[in-house]
Amino acid sequence: MGGLRRVLAGYGFLIASVNLAAAAEPIKLRVADSFPKGHYLVRLVLEPWMAEVQKRTNNAVTFEHYPAQQLGKAADMLKLTQTGVADIGYVAPAYVSDKMPVSEVAMLPGMFEHSCQGTLAYWKTARSGVIAQQDYTANGIRLLLAVSLPQYRIFTVKQPVKETGDVTGLKLRSTGGAQDLTLRAIGAVPVRMAAPDAYESLQRGTMDGLLFPLESVVAYGADKLVKYSTDGVGFASFIVAYSISDTVWKKLPPDVQKAMADVAEEIIPSACQQVQKSDDETKKSLEAAGVRFETLRPDVNAKFKDLMKGVAKTWADGLDGRGKHGSDAVKEFDAAVAAIPAK
């Protein structure tokens, strides 16, 4: 009997050792991304966050990054994250506006002046209030990182945009939703597609141009095709957001959750400044490469703004009619922007 106890005790020690070894193994999180490796947003936002989280947890958590749509298309990132194909996903609300409609408040024209204003306002409202409840909690995901891109411009291939009439009838790339409303308001024809697909469509001539931020023109190779860009008025913006499955989040140890949240709070304010700076630098490099930036006259600028001034209300009314609280989202976002200096 004593021998049996010794054997069982030995097995117990072995099992305990195995459990301890398993507990010591790092948590591996799969990160699905549609941005190509080396994209400036990956370099300025995601990679520093992953590296610092790994450092602060003493490698208790590690990340496997799958860029360039390796795990799925940009429009599928929400589903990939919800179903466990990925633990963390680059979930761009604009690509799933049917599932995350109120986030588009940060993509409406004229809502903010620079990247940090939009970023910090979204970062606040997307974690409490209407956006948090309807776009994140309802979809079973939790926001980890977010950046609002600098104001979008109109890039064209064949002719510059100097007057409001120059846009009439132009087929321009759009992410859908709020950007569709913006383009229709100024007389253009929106062509909905994700950024990685824009180059091929532009090359084939099925589009006349792009509603794009400067950096994305370079990142997706469109700088080899476009010849002209507007300058002086912002037509829209875009929210870049990395989110984690709620199911995965709740399984993480509290110290890992804290590290993720703390690092995000530290990185986001500096990242948006770098994003804005990168935008300014890219403009200079594109000018040097031959892209012509048309600075719109003050009267033309005013006309474009006048054409777009009703977009926010149209957008909000449409959501209100579906019970999605668009007007509440506008009020919350406006209040958050007002608390952040314009420059």
Give residue-wise pLDDT tens across range 128-150: 989 999 999 999 999 999 999 99
Q: Is the pLDDT of residue 124 over 60?
A: yes
Other beta carbons less than 10 A from residue 64's beta carbon: 13
Q: Are 187 and 167 in contact (CB under 8 A)?
A: yes
- The candidate with the shortest Cα–Cα distance to 246, out of 45, 99, 81, 95, is 81
Q: Among all chains, which residue has been given the structure tokens 């179903």?
A: 83
Give residue-wise pLDDT tens across range 56-78: 999 999 999 999 999 999 999 99
Measured CA to CA, the distance from residue 317 to residue 29 in angstroms comes to: 39
Measured CA to CA, the distance from residue 102 to residue 333 in angstroms comes to: 10
Measured CA to CA, the distance from residue 100 to residue 112 in angstroms comes to: 20
Measured CA to CA, the distance from residue 210 to residue 85 in angstroms comes to: 31
Q: Among all chains, which residue has been given the structure tokens 């990168």?
A: 278
Paired tokens of 27: 């948590």
Question: In this predicted model, which residue has the larger pLDDT, 260 or 21?
Answer: 260
pTM to 2 decimal places: 0.89
Q: Are 179 and 211 in contact (CB under 8 A)?
A: yes
Q: Is the pLDDT of residue 329 over 70?
A: yes
Domains defined for the chain, CATH in brackets = 27-148+238-278 (3.40.190.170), 153-235+282-338 (3.40.190.170)
Three-state secondary structure call for residue 270:
helix
